[in-house]
Amino acid sequence: MKRRLKELAILLTGLGILGVIVLVSGIVPIKASSGHWPITRWILDFASNRSVGLHSSRIEVPPLDEPGMIRLGAATFDSNCRWCHGAPGFSQPPVAAQMTPHPPELSEAAGSWDDAELFYIIQHGIKFAGMPAWPTQKRNEEIWPVVAFLRALPHLDAGQYLDFTQGDGVGIHAAETPIDRQVQSLCAACHGTTGSKPTNDRVPVLASQSRVYLKRSLQSFRDGNRYSGVMMPIAHRLTSQQIDKMASYFAEQPRDTSPPTDSRDEGLIERGRVLAHHGDQAAKIPSCIDCHGPGENAPSDEYPRLAGQPARYLQRQLELIAQGNRGGSDNASIMHPIANKLDKSERRALAAFYASISGSDTE
So where are the chain's domains?
Answer: 49-162, 167-251, 266-356
CB-CB contact of 311 with 201 (8 Å) = yes
| pLDDT, position 299 | 73
User: DSSP character for 224?
Assistant: T
Instruction: Report pLDDT for 237.
Output: 94
Specify burial of residue 336 (Cβ count, 10 A radius: 0-12, 13-18, 19+). middle
Per CATH, 167-251 and 266-356 having the same topology is answered yes
Q: Mutual orientation of helices 144-152 and 69-80 as an angle, nearest 10°?
A: 100
pLDDT value at residue 135:
97
Report the distance separating Cα 164 and Cα 154, nearest Å.
14
pLDDT at residue 350, as a whole number: 97
* Residue ranges in the chain modelled with pLDDT below 50: 169-173
pLDDT value of position 6: 80
CATH for 49-162 is: 1.10.760.10
Query: Which superfamily does CATH assign the domain made up of 167-251 to?
Result: Cytochrome c-like domain (1.10.760.10)
Residue 245: CB atoms within 10 A of its CB come to: 17
Residue-level pLDDT at 178: 78
Q: Are 353 and 296 in contact (CB under 8 A)?
A: no
H-helix segments, 115-156: 115-124, 144-152
| pLDDT score for 184 | 79
Give the DSSP letter string of 234-258.
HHHT--HHHHHHHHHHHHTSPP--S
Residue 34: per-residue pLDDT? 87
**Contact status, residue 291 vs residue 277, Cβ threshold 8 Å:** no
pLDDT at position 254: 85
Terminal CA-to-CA distance of the chain, rounded, Å?
92
Tell me what pLDDT residue 143 has.
Answer: 98
Residue 361 pLDDT = 57
Residue 7, pLDDT score:
79
CATH class for domain 266-356?
A: mainly alpha
| Other beta carbons within 10 Å of 142 | 22
